[in-house]
Amino acid sequence: MLQISQRGVALPPSPYRKLTPFAEAARQRGLTVHPLNIGQPDIETPPAMLAAVQRASIQVLEYSPTAGYPSYRHKLAEYYQRLGLPVEADDIIVTTGGSEAISFALLSCLNPGDEFIVPEPFYGPYSAFAVATGTHVVPVTALLEDNFALPPIAEFERKITPRTKAILICSPNNPTGYVYSRQELEQLKELCLRHKLYLLSDEAYREFCYDTAYTSALHLQGADEHIVLLDTISKRYSSCGARIGAIVTKNRALREVFFKLAQLRVSPPGLGQLLAEAAADLPETYFDHTKTEYLARRDLMLRRLRAMPGTRVPTPSGAFYVICHLPVDDADRFAQWLLEEFSYHGQTLMISPASGFYATPGLGRQQVRLAYVVNQGVINQAMDCLEAALQQYPGRQE
Amino acid sequence: MLQISQRGVALPPSPYRKLTPFAEAARQRGLTVHPLNIGQPDIETPPAMLAAVQRASIQVLEYSPTAGYPSYRHKLAEYYQRLGLPVEADDIIVTTGGSEAISFALLSCLNPGDEFIVPEPFYGPYSAFAVATGTHVVPVTALLEDNFALPPIAEFERKITPRTKAILICSPNNPTGYVYSRQELEQLKELCLRHKLYLLSDEAYREFCYDTAYTSALHLQGADEHIVLLDTISKRYSSCGARIGAIVTKNRALREVFFKLAQLRVSPPGLGQLLAEAAADLPETYFDHTKTEYLARRDLMLRRLRAMPGTRVPTPSGAFYVICHLPVDDADRFAQWLLEEFSYHGQTLMISPASGFYATPGLGRQQVRLAYVVNQGVINQAMDCLEAALQQYPGRQE
């Protein structure tokens, strides 16, 4: 018989997908389903960025250079420099979304069978990237009781084996919203220097920090060869569909490998790069507006969640997610019940059970991730639903 | 020391890249360098396709669905149906360029260590895709003397081992321009059925067939589970920078794996899909115009090449490349000499030595690939240069 590859079989499906048919069925029954389950912001893509594409005079939509248009790489370097990061255009390879940056990093830093350590809960697809690249995720558990702060470095040390090649972090974090402090990042840097590990830093949510100063991995000194920044414009400029990201490192040998991988797909999307380049001309206040909006949403969601008996929810300092403990037997079951059996004034909500963000089996069973990517009116409606649902749910458990 | 992964080290750099610094230096010396080395057409991207992007009303540039916009998948299915291919929208996953389709196919059909057989010369990056996916290219040599027709099936059979999982073909072929006949494809199909192999068919140049009827792998009957079509709009609509391709199969289990891989990168480029979808509204005559132009260029190039003593060049029936035997000691050396030491009325040309298209060491040493992606005036100038160069080149060898 024709066979599917073992890695193909082993690839986990997206945790988001499991609930999709139930949501579709609920919508077909006429319910409004509030989508708190995914990180697709409702924030307008800056019209000036779209206009740059729409105004462009293009005769032939050619391959861009493999590393991206030089003009865009220069403007992106300037963006990083404004944040105090020592990035030159040559340090940047423009990628097809942040996802390509993750692939490039794992393929270049790890051999098949090698391991990378990630604080859990983590962005679910990291596990699938590991399968696709023949590598292994090794989790170190961050606790809701600690606001999902960096677990003690001793726990990382305990997980290090001869096959460990990298630590992968995400700050501000998806799914927890935690923002690593300078001190936490310095500890990680020391660990990576001591054990000769790469520090892969996913900074997709960099611009969304609310109560805390932001530190990038590239702010750290003396570890240039170790640090790889994984980036994307998807969330920063509400441009998820552009598929423009970047992989940034001062490590020249590593960059050369990224470049060879980039040659395989010839070039990143051309139209998306035109859009991304126009971000350089946004007013300095652009992020203030979006941050003010997200902050108001976050505070509203926290206030509403905390008013529900039996919930426990840390205050996330960044990104646009909260992880919330719910008084339910099993969040997967609860999420499906919300779509299949519950409604409140013709509405229900879609949530992400947190089990999909943990590698350790059994963890996160009573936790859900909620994204505050919808406006405050919708958040209020969704919280009304959740409040009623928690009262009615037969599997309620304190 | 921090280590680069073995696959990262093993990745071959693009063969195109080696000559780039020499071309840049030549341009800096004031020479005009005619680019016959790459498949970047100078044909205008259909203005109606660009206009579709530029007219689109976009509030939030969201992730598209993982498999691509349903409206685009339907129109693409209709395009295939007009060619007589039994493709439904559900059989299609829109990819980020043809390159992503190649990755998905190798990751899903082959385990690490498995092999796929490819007639050589072949599109150079296939070797790098093999390294990136932990698989191995096994070449079967097609001969210039046979017009690069399909090698005898017995040669494929001899190369099959328990690790062989697929045959990868490209028709119309890059770099040879050969178009496989229905009969050749039937032979390959029988081989794949007999040995339980996938038939991966790269059809990027489908619309450019000049003297011969076109057969797609999906025209073949009774092997639906085996056949995977790898496609792209890059060449078809001169839209290389859009990064829109497709992977198409009737094999549902395999498609499910492609979909899981596609979830890793969430969605293909959104703006590029808008552009691609607008191709459905091009007039039926669109390809006639481009084909007429390419055919005239091909015939001009062949006429000029054949007038040079010592050359041997088959007539390619498709795509926009010719492989030509030149009376030189070593085409790599000759290509570099053209850029470093030669000029003719302030001009020279850049060519692709064919060694980069062979996996068997030593083959193609006297062959080059020339792309007729430039207009006839430029082709004439470039051929003037080549003619003069062959007379002057110190390594001339009959």
CB burial readout B134-152, b (16+ within 10 A) else e: bbbbbbbebebeeebbbbe
The confidence band for B212, taking pLDDT boundaries of 50, 70 and 90, is: confident
pLDDT of residue B118: 98
Largest CA distance in chain B: 64
Q: Which tokens in the block code for residue A167?
A: 């630590």
Please indicate whether, in this complex, the C-beta atoms of B44 and A59 are within 8 angstroms of each other.
yes
Pairing assessment for the beta strands B32-35 and B347-350 based on DSSP bridges: parallel
Q: Is the CB of residue B125 less than 8 Å from the CB of residue A263?
A: yes
Contacts of A113 in chain B (CB under 8 A): none
Chain A: residue nearest B135 by CA?
Answer: A5
Task: Domain A6-44+286-392: give its CATH superfamily.
Answer: Aspartate Aminotransferase, domain 1 (3.90.1150.10)
pLDDT of residue B377: 97
pLDDT of residue A97: 98
Query: What distance in Å separates the CA atoms of residue A5 and residue A19, rounded to the nearest whole number?
Result: 26
Chain B: residue nearest A52 by CA?
Answer: B54
Give helix B97-109 / helix B125-133 axis angle, nearest 10°: 40
Please indicate whether, in this complex, the C-beta atoms of B45 and A60 are within 8 angstroms of each other.
yes
Contacts of B56 in chain A (CB under 8 A): 54
DSSP string, A143-168: -GGGTTPPPPHHHHHHH--TTEEEEE
Chain A: residue nearest B100 by CA?
Answer: A265
pLDDT of residue A18: 83
Closest C-alpha among A261, A316, A25, A287 to residue A148: A316
Interface mutation target, options B42, B43, B49, B60, chain A, most CBs of A under 10 Å: B60
| pLDDT 10s digits, A210-256 | 988 899 999 999 999 999 999 999 999 999 999 999 999 999 999 99
Other Cβ atoms less than 10 A from the Cβ of B377: the count is: 8
Is the pLDDT at B40 greater than 90? The verdict is: no
pLDDT of residue A263: 95
DSSP string, A292-337: HHHHHHHHHHHHHHHTSTT-B-----BTTEEEEE-SBS-HHHHHHH
Are B6-44+286-392 and B47-281 equal in CATH topology?
A: no
Query: What distance in Å separates the CA atoms of residue A323 and residue A313, rounded to the nearest whole number?
Result: 6
| pLDDT 10s digits, B89-108 | 999 999 999 999 999 999 99
Long-range contacts of B323-326 (CB under 8 A, 24+ apart): B323/B121, B323/B144, B323/B148, B323/B175, B323/B176, B323/B177, B323/B354, B323/B357, B323/B367, B323/B368, B323/B369, B324/B367, B324/B368, B324/B369, B324/B370, B325/B144, B325/B366, B325/B367, B326/B366, B326/B367, B326/B368, B326/B390
Please indicate whether, in this complex, the C-beta atoms of A271 and B272 are within 8 angstroms of each other.
yes
| pLDDT 10s digits, B357-370 | 999 999 999 999 99
Distance to chain B for A249, nearest Cα, Å: 13
Q: Which tokens in the block code for residue B375?
A: 């207009």
Contacts of A128 in chain B (CB under 8 A): 260, 263-264
pLDDT of residue B119: 98
> Residue B362 to residues A65, A310, B145, B365, B367: CA-CA distances in angstroms?
30, 72, 17, 6, 11
Please indicate whether, in this complex, the C-beta atoms of A257 and B109 are within 8 angstroms of each other.
no
Closest C-alpha among A262, A260, A397, A378 to residue A334: A397
Other Cβ atoms less than 10 A from the Cβ of B237: the count is: 25
Distance to chain B for A44, nearest Cα, Å: 5
> Residue A69 to residues A362, B78, B221, B232: CA-CA distances in angstroms?
46, 34, 44, 22
Closest C-alpha among A262, A153, A167, A142 to residue A217: A167
Please indicate whether, in this complex, the C-beta atoms of B5 and A266 are within 8 angstroms of each other.
no
Average pLDDT of chain B to the nearest whole number: 96
Other Cβ atoms less than 10 A from the Cβ of A143: the count is: 11
The confidence band for A284, taking pLDDT boundaries of 50, 70 and 90, is: confident
Contacts of B100 in chain A (CB under 8 A): 265
Q: Which tokens in the block code for residue B140?
A: 């079967």
pLDDT of residue A17: 75
Q: Name the helix (H) or strand (E) containing A380.
A: helix A376-392
Query: What distance in Å separates the CA atoms of residue A161 and residue A120, rounded to the nearest whole number?
Result: 18
pLDDT of residue B14: 81
Q: So what's the ipTM on this one?
A: 0.96
Closest C-alpha among B166, B204, B202, B169 to residue B184: B169
Q: Is the CB of residue A291 less than 8 Å from the CB of residue A207?
A: yes
Largest CA distance in chain A: 64
| pLDDT 10s digits, A60-80 | 999 999 999 999 999 999 999
| pLDDT 10s digits, B49-62 | 999 999 999 999 99
For residue A62, give the nearest of B40, B58, B60 by CB distance. B40
pLDDT of residue A212: 85
Distance to chain B for A344, nearest Cα, Å: 28
Q: What CATH number has the domain spanning B47-281?
A: 3.40.640.10
Task: Find all residues with CB under 8 Å of A257, minimum gap 6, and list them.
Answer: A104, A107, A108, B4, B5, B8, B9, B11
Q: What is the mean pLDDT of residues B216-242?
A: 97
Is the pLDDT at B273 greater than 90? The verdict is: yes
Per DSSP, what are the bridge partners of residue A168? A200
Distance to chain B for A172, nearest Cα, Å: 20
Task: Find all residues with CB under 8 Å of B101, minimum gap 6, and list them.
Answer: B95, B230, B231, B232, B245, B246, B247
Interface mutation target, options B266, B267, B274, chain A, most CBs of A under 10 Å: B266
- In three-state secondary structure terms, B13 is coil
Distance to chain B for A327, nearest Cα, Å: 31
Contacts of A44 in chain B (CB under 8 A): 59-60
pLDDT of residue A324: 98
Please indicate whether, in this complex, the C-beta atoms of B243 and A50 are within 8 angstroms of each other.
no
Please indicate whether, in this complex, the C-beta atoms of B60 and A45 are within 8 angstroms of each other.
yes
Please indicate whether, in this complex, the C-beta atoms of B196 and A243 are within 8 angstroms of each other.
no
Contacts of A11 in chain B (CB under 8 A): 257, 260-261
Query: What distance in Å separates the CA atoms of residue A328 and residue A311, rounded to the nearest whole number?
Result: 10
The confidence band for A13, taking pLDDT boundaries of 50, 70 and 90, is: confident
CB burial readout A294-315, b (16+ within 10 A) else e: bbebbebbbebbeebeebebbe
The listed CATH number (3.50.30.30, 3.40.50.300, 3.90.1140.10, 3.40.640.10) that belongs to domain A62-281: 3.40.640.10
Chain B: residue nearest A10 by CA?
Answer: B257
Contacts of A105 in chain B (CB under 8 A): none
Is the pLDDT at B211 greater than 90? The verdict is: no
Q: Is the CB of residue A123 less than 8 Å from the CB of residue A319?
A: no
Is the pLDDT at A168 greater than 80? The verdict is: yes
The confidence band for B18, taking pLDDT boundaries of 50, 70 and 90, is: confident
Kindly list the domain boundaries of chain B, sorted by start residue.
Answer: 6-44+286-392, 47-281
Task: Find all residues with CB under 8 Å of B285, minimum gap 6, and list them.
Answer: none
Is the pLDDT at A15 greater than 80? The verdict is: no
pLDDT of residue A16: 72
Q: What is the mean pLDDT of residues B173-179?
A: 98
Task: Find all residues with CB under 8 Å of A127, minimum gap 6, and list them.
Answer: A12, A137, A359
Other Cβ atoms less than 10 A from the Cβ of A114: the count is: 21
Among A9-13, A150-154, A186-190, B334-338, the least confident range: A9-13
Query: What distance in Å separates the CA atoms of residue A356 and residue A340, rounded to the nearest whole number?
Result: 20
